[in-house]
Amino acid sequence: MSEVTQEEKAAKKAAAPKKKTVLKKLDPEAAKLLQSLKDKANKKTFGRKVRDSEIISLGLSLVSNEHVQSLQNQTLSEKDRLHMAHEDFQKTNGKISLDHFIGKLLRNEIFLTQQPIS
């Protein structure tokens, strides 16, 4: 009888859906902020402890499209911005080589306006 119960337990464990856990590394500043938020949240007399994943999930749910665009803009290099401006110029004014475009910029024949990433 004990063999049957062990087999049933093994079958239940195999059938139970497993949570997929993903570990990501945090920079030290973010880890300190997470720890301080967790300490604040856990200053209570009743209930279980608040988990790191709950704090992170709540924070991620608050990220808006504007935040995503800001992050995208932060990752652009000056070379990326130059190529984007060159492509925009070509859309409105026709084909021009990158060298000619840079020359026109240096001679102030072209004035650029900063546009957000689409």
Mean pLDDT, the chain cut into blocks of 10 residues (118 residues total) = 60 63 82 94 94 94 96 94 93 93 92 66
d(CA 110, CA 67): 30
d(CA 38, CA 116): 35
d(CA 95, CA 99): 12
Question: Beta-carbon neighbour count of residue 51 at 10 Å?
Answer: 12
DSSP state of 61: H
pTM, entire model: 0.60
Q: Rounded to a whole number, what is the distance in angstroms from the first to the last CA of the chain?
A: 65
